[in-house]
Amino acid sequence: MTQTDSAHFRGKRPDVEVRLATAADVPRILVMLKQLTDAHEAYDGKRFVAPADPAATYGAWVAKATPGNDVLALVAEVAREGEVIGYLIAEHFEPMPKYWAPECIYVHDIFVEADARKTGAADALLERAAMWGQSRGVSQLRGIVAHGNQMGQGFFTRSGFRIGAIEFVRD
């Protein structure tokens, strides 16, 4: 395990820490995932379809998120209480020449509970993912934000992301 894998990163509030997710965190992640999928289905239910078995999908991701693997699962928590208030799932993608895409760290999900936003938890989750990528020699982070998710778009823009592509969907 590297220092990047084991270190705790603090958010803007001194009581917010980021750590690797464990199997014990999956039930809490699933509660937050439900909020995330409900929001995305409200943005565009034809484009964003929740996994049929979220527990199996996310349980497998968290299980794969061990040092040396290509998946990263993090949680942000209130340190003194151990209350999980956010999570991030990212994956190391190798170059995909058929899509003209270089190697990257792909942020599948990043979510922070509404009452814990503006604490720096999302920033800390994303920074930890960037550090994980750097430890693998990968600097590019990528993710998709729903067209109607203005808050998410603003977060990624403030975090130094740029629009790299615009996805069009025809139903």
Predicted confidence (pLDDT) per residue in 102-154, tens digit: 999 999 999 999 999 989 999 999 999 999 999 999 999 999 999 999 999 99
Residue 168 lies in a domain: no
Between residues 83 and 55, the one the model is more confident about: 83
Edge-to-edge order in the sheet of strand 141-143: 9-10, 16-20, 71-78, 83-93, 104-112, 141-143
Residue 110 has a pLDDT of 98
Residue 53 lies in a domain: yes
**Cβ-based neighbours of 97, under 8 Å, separated by 6 or more:** none
Does position 12 have pLDDT exceeding 70, yes or no?
no
- CATH assignment of the domain containing 85: 3.40.630.30
Residue 110 lies in a domain: yes
Question: What predicted TM-score, i.e. pTM, was given to this entire model?
Answer: 0.88
Residue 65 lies in a domain: yes
Backbone CA torsion sign across 164, 34, 110, 42? positive
Residue 8 has a pLDDT of 53
Residue 163 lies in a domain: no
Count the domains in the chain.
Answer: 1
Q: Which parts of the chain are beta strand (E)?
A: 9-10, 16-20, 71-78, 83-93, 104-112, 141-143
Does position 5 have pLDDT exceeding 80, yes or no?
no
Mean pLDDT of the chain: 89
Task: Print the domain residue range for 9.
Answer: 3-158
